[in-house]
Amino acid sequence: MMIVSPKASPETRLDDNNSQATTDAKPFFQKSLDASPYPHLFTPLDLGFTTLKNRVVMGSMHTGLEDRFYNYGKLAAYFAERAKGGVAMMITGGISPNREGWLLPAGGTMNSKLDVINHQRVTRAVHKFDSKIIMQILHSGRYGYHPFVVSASAIKSPISPFKPRKMSIKNIEQTIDDFARAAKLAKQAGYDGVEIMGSEGYLLNQFLSRHVNKRDDEFGGDIFGRMKLAVEVVKAVRAAVGVDFIILFRLSMIDLVKDGNTMDEVIATAKALEAAGVTILNTGIGWHEARVPTIVTSVPRAAFTDFTAAVKNAVNIPVMAANRINMPETAEQILIEGQADLIQMARPFLADPNWVNKAQQGEAHRINTCIACNQACLDHTFENKRSTCLVNPQACYETELVYKPTKRPKKVAVVGGGVAGMSAAHVAALRGHDVTLFEARDSLGGQFNYAKVIPGKEEFFETIRYFINELASLNVDIQLNTTVDKAMLNDSGFDHVIVATGVVPRSLKDTLEGAELPQVMSYAELLSGQKAVGGTVAVIGAGGIGFDVSEYLTTRHAKPLNEIGAKQLNDPSYRPQAQSVASWREEWGVTCDPDYQSAGGLVTPDAITPARQVYLIQRSKGRLGRGLNKTSGWVHRAHIKSHGVIQVSGVHYEKITNEGLWITNAQGQSQLLRVDSIVVCAGQESVADLMPNVGDAPSAQYHLIGGAKLAAELDAKRAIRDGAEVAAGI
Ligand code: FAD
Ligand code: NAP
Ligand code: SF4
């Protein structure tokens, strides 16, 4: 299979005067070509009645703050911070037009005068910074998590326990009115426009696709019947808000579900939406129930932009690209290639509210990059918790976690340059303290250095790069190759010592016979390249690291740290080669043809030949990977399945010999797994021996953070937040 190059050409341009797409030889972005490192990204877009100051849009994210009126002050601060950061336009989390459309019971609404007053706090805060704000109207349809759910047909979704009621014609007409009323109120609240959510498998997408729409009335049948609800909603909204108001429509460019639409049907819908009054078409990729990942970190950057380009070439309104775009080079390239007119990023603005200003000032190396882990944003949404960000704990806590400049600068020692220590050093220095960071190894990053060599986790490089550049710009004194002991800290003159000495892999040498044999190694020895494995491998421990190591061992292009090369490791701009878009699509069964005729863009995935035979083993009974994160765990489980990893649970480890690993299996029988090598991923232990003992009277104040504080259930989210919180308080 090969990627067919998109139809878009660099000459396709938006005319500055009339916002109509035209194709001529004049350069699209001539005005600012010399002024910025990303000239296309920073060319304004004239919509006729209003202008977007650049091509960057913050996409809709449900933060959890929009559901309660008493959180609207925090929501306003969250949006204001990003408006200040230079983004041209932002889209709120989904607001339902009515009760049936709630995602969760009592979700955010725009139904009344009181709602208008609450939302005004947001729009006023944003408009102080020359940015635009759009309210997304989202009707969840059968994705709603409550008993009032409705849909095109009475077919339950695999991701909600509630079976929907089939909407009657009267119900449909009322829903169209509800969309229009919500839009009108949004205009009164000061919004610059609305986005009508028509993708990701929500109500309008449910009507658009045969996957759910089995109706035989005027709202079903062929694509023209199935698109009728979406088109009528747009017409009603346009009639309610007038001509000088932005209407975005988020259209599913590829459904990635059985019986999903073909590209011809997507284009027919796009043209009808344009005629109905849409100002800008936004990209949606895949339904939430699709079994193809669309935003997790292992999805290559800009993996879907050729589908957006196919639609852009068919319409005369601006089209916005989305999904796994997180750095300016990628965004600029999409614009250069004429694949889209605007770039939408959502999570990258949780990670760094100043993304746009940094890009404009040529400081992309200082962007705190979204690593697409979902751990603190989408996973929180599914746990009904407020969203925040693993790499930026201030996100959605702008009024609560504040890094105030200090009035009394102190001498601060941070011991340990893992993510906890780097985060603490960063915040302490940002506040004006005099910071020294000690690291035993020759590079910063700690355990994150192992994470970043896992195939599909290449983005983790960016976090280390970000911290290295920030610490340098804040003149933190970084002492590499320095193992700190207690004597060095005594009488060293530090006012504060932050102990961030992290964790070491748990060794089984004292508890499992044969664990000292040379073919047995920790994950750190494997991933650093200190030890090599043979063709068959047993992985002891099926937590997050056991899964990652199994993926590393079965993937053909995986490389350990020592093969990446010291030069590149110390170069903060270095990024490893991630999997290509074409190879990723072949693996997951996504068409490589932007004009796809297969339903939902699905094709048969290629068979995979794993690099090794791997057994992934745990003592607990039941399915492996139950503790993995909600929104990414299924991707890891699917990966090891497609790479032939043999999953073994409910075992007791007996011993290791030169023949392999002896276990008592779940049936109580002794069994030999004939393997060449054994990798131990059995959790970690804290390293905290620098903390004063009871009775000591140190001159400095000591703080314990990250893995050093607690190894159990440690992840980078806790480590980075710990560091930031401690440093914010000294
Ligand atoms: P560490 O990373 O252990 O850092 C401690 C640092 O202190 C080390 O650099 C060490 O050399 C230094 N040090 C120790 N003693 C001294 C001393 N006396 N003097 C000077 N320096 C010293 N987490 C996630 O949230 N999501 C993931 O997807 C994820 N994937 C992972 C994948 C792998 C393969 C691995 C191994 C880990 C992964 N993690 C992930 C876990 C995450 O990397 C850790 O939770 C996090 O890095 C812990 O950070 P820390 O700073 O507390 O400790
Ligand atoms: P973990 O999730 O606690 O898993 C440790 C595994 O080792 C468990 O499967 C456990 O299962 C087994 N184990 C524990 N003690 C053992 C012993 N004495 N002998 C044999 N087996 C033992 O920890 P981890 O995999 O080391 O990961 C560390 C942290 O990094 C995690 O908490 C996670 O949050 C983070 N991480 C996250 C991701 C991600 O994708 N989000 C990826 C990697 C790591 P049994 O007891 O059933 O055998
Ligand atoms: Fe991105 Fe992870 Fe932060 Fe979410 S938590 S915004 S995915 S870095």
For residue 610, give Cα distances in angstroms to 538, 632, 712: 15, 21, 32
pTM for the model stands at 0.94
- DSSP-derived secondary structure for 209-229: STTT----STTSSSHHHHTHH
User: Cα(395) to centroid of ligand 3, in Å?
Assistant: 10
Q: Exposed, middle or buried by CB within 10 Å (0-12, 13-18, 19+), for 290?
A: buried
Residues with CB under 6 A from ligand 3: 347, 350-351, 370-377, 389-391
Q: Are the C-beta atoms of 617 and 651 separated by less than 8 Å?
A: yes
Q: How far apart are CA 700 and CA 491, in angstroms?
A: 9
Domain match, 424 and 333 both = no
Mean local confidence (pLDDT), 585-608: 97
Ligand 1 pocket member 416 (CB < 6 A): yes
Position 9 pLDDT exceeds 50: no
For residue 26, the model assigns a pLDDT of 32
Instruction: Return the closest-CA partner of residue 548 out of 613, 608, 616, 610.
Output: 616
Rounded-to-integer distance, Cα 719 and Cα 688, Å: 14
Q: Give the end of a domain, one of 342, 375, 403.
A: 342
User: Which distant-in-sequence residues (6+ apart) come within 8 Å of 308 by Cβ?
Assistant: 253, 283, 319, 320, 321, 322, 339, 340
Mean pLDDT rounded to a whole number for the chain = 93
Instruction: Report whether 60 contacts 90 (CB < 8 A).
Output: no
CATH code of the domain containing 497? 3.40.50.720
Contact of 691 with 677, CB cutoff 8 Å: no
Per residue in 308-361, pLDDT (tens digit) is 999 999 999 999 999 999 999 999 999 999 999 999 999 999 999 999 999 999
625 domain-assigned? no
| 549 class by beta-carbon count within 10 Å (0-12 exposed, 13-18 middle, 19+ buried) | buried
- 178 and 166 in contact (C-beta within 8 Å)? no
Whole-angstrom distance, CA of residue 320 vs CA of residue 312: 9
Is there a contact between 233 and 186 (Cβ–Cβ < 8 Å)? no
Is the confidence at residue 638, as pLDDT, over 80? yes
- Torsion region of 411: left, alpha or beta (phi above 0 gives left; psi -120 to 50 gives alpha): beta
> Mean per-residue pLDDT for 500-529?
98
Protein residue with its CA nearest to atom 39 in ligand 1: 715
Q: Which of 32, 278, 323, 24 is nearest to 134 (CA)?
A: 278
CATH number at residue 182: 3.20.20.70
Same domain, 470 and 338: no
- In the numeric block, which tokens belong to residue 578? 């991630």
Is residue 381 domain-resident?
Answer: no
Q: Which ligand is nearest to the CA of 511?
A: 2
Query: Is a pLDDT exceeding 60 seen at residue 12?
Result: no
Pocket of ligand 2 (CB under 6 A): 375, 508, 540-546, 548, 618-620, 627, 629, 681-684, 713-715
* Residue that is last in its domain, among 315, 342, 369: 342
**Residue 209 sits in which domain range?**
12-58+83-113+125-342
553 close to ligand 1 (CB < 6 Angstrom): no
Residues 337 and 252 in one domain: yes
Q: How far apart are the first and last CA of the chain?
A: 57
- Indicate if the pLDDT at residue 69 is higher than 90: no
Residues 210 and 295 in one domain: yes
Q: Name which residue sits closest to atom 6 of ligand 3, judged by CA.
A: 347
552: CA distance to ligand 2 center in Å? 16
| Residue 440 is assigned to a structural domain of this protein | yes
Q: Do 458 and 500 touch, CB atoms closer than 8 A?
A: no
Query: What confidence tier does 19 reach under pLDDT thresholds 50, 70, 90?
Result: very low
Write the DSSP symbol of residue 156.
-
Catalytic residue among 72, 78, 191, 202: 202
Query: What is the token pair recorded at 368?
Result: 């705190």
The structure tokens 């014609």 sit at 169
Question: Are 429 and 284 within one domain?
Answer: no
Beta bridge partners of 418: 445
pLDDT of residue 314: 98
The Cα–Cα gap between 85 and 697 comes to: 45
- What gap in Å lies between CA 72 and CA 74, rounded to an integer? 5
Is 202 annotated in the active site?
Answer: yes
In a domain, 287, yes or no: yes
Q: How many residues does the chain have?
A: 730
Same domain, 93 and 225: yes
Cβ-based burial of 433 (10 A; exposed 0-12, middle 13-18, buried ≥19)? buried
Same domain, 314 and 463: no
Helical spans, DSSP H, in 198-281: 203-208, 223-226, 228-241, 263-276
Relative orientation angle of helices 169-188 and 228-241, to the nearest 10 degrees: 30
pLDDT, tens only, 365-378: 999 999 999 999 99
Among the candidates 342, 362, 386, a domain finishes at 342
Decide if pLDDT at 137 tops 80.
Answer: yes
Atom of ligand 2 nearest to the CA of 545: 25
Q: Whose CA is nearest to atom 43 of ligand 2?
A: 544
Domain presence at residue 93: yes
Residues 389-426 have pLDDT tens digits of: 999 999 999 999 999 999 999 999 999 999 999 999 99
The CA R_g of the chain, rounded to the nearest whole Å, is 27
In 355-500, at which residue ranges do the beta strands (DSSP E only) sit?
411-415, 434-438, 477-479, 496-499
Residue 538 lies in a domain: no
CA–CA separation, 182 and 188 (whole Å): 10
Cα(323) to centroid(ligand 3), Å: 13
Going from the Cα of 538 to the center of ligand 2, the distance in angstroms, rounded, reads: 15
In a domain, residue 451? The reply is: yes
Domain count, the chain: 2
Provide, rounded to the nearest whole percent, the portion of the chain with pLDDT above 90. Answer: 88
Find all residues with CB under 8 Å of 465, minimum gap 6, and list them.
365, 369, 572, 573, 574
- Out of 449, 509, 618, 709, mutate this one to test ligand 2's pocket (max ligand atoms within 8 Å of CB): namely 618
CB-based contacts of 242: which residues, under 8 Å, 6+ apart?
Answer: none
In-domain check, residue 643 = no
CA of 467 to the centre of ligand 3 (A): 16
Dmax (CA) for the chain in angstroms is 83
Of 14-18, 78-82, 265-269, 358-362, give the lowest mean pLDDT range.
14-18
Question: Residue 43 and residue 30: Cα distance in Å, rounded?
Answer: 9
d(C-alpha 207, C-alpha 578), whole Å: 36
Same domain for 332 and 232? yes
pLDDT tens for 168-178 read 999 999 999 99
Q: Given this model, what pLDDT does residue 431 score?
A: 98
Tokens 């008493």 found at: 70
Q: Do 325 and 460 belong to one domain?
A: no
User: Do residues 415 and 333 share a domain?
Assistant: no
Are both 451 and 309 inside the same structural domain? Answer: no
On whether the CB atoms of residues 500 and 415 are closer than 8 A, the answer is: yes
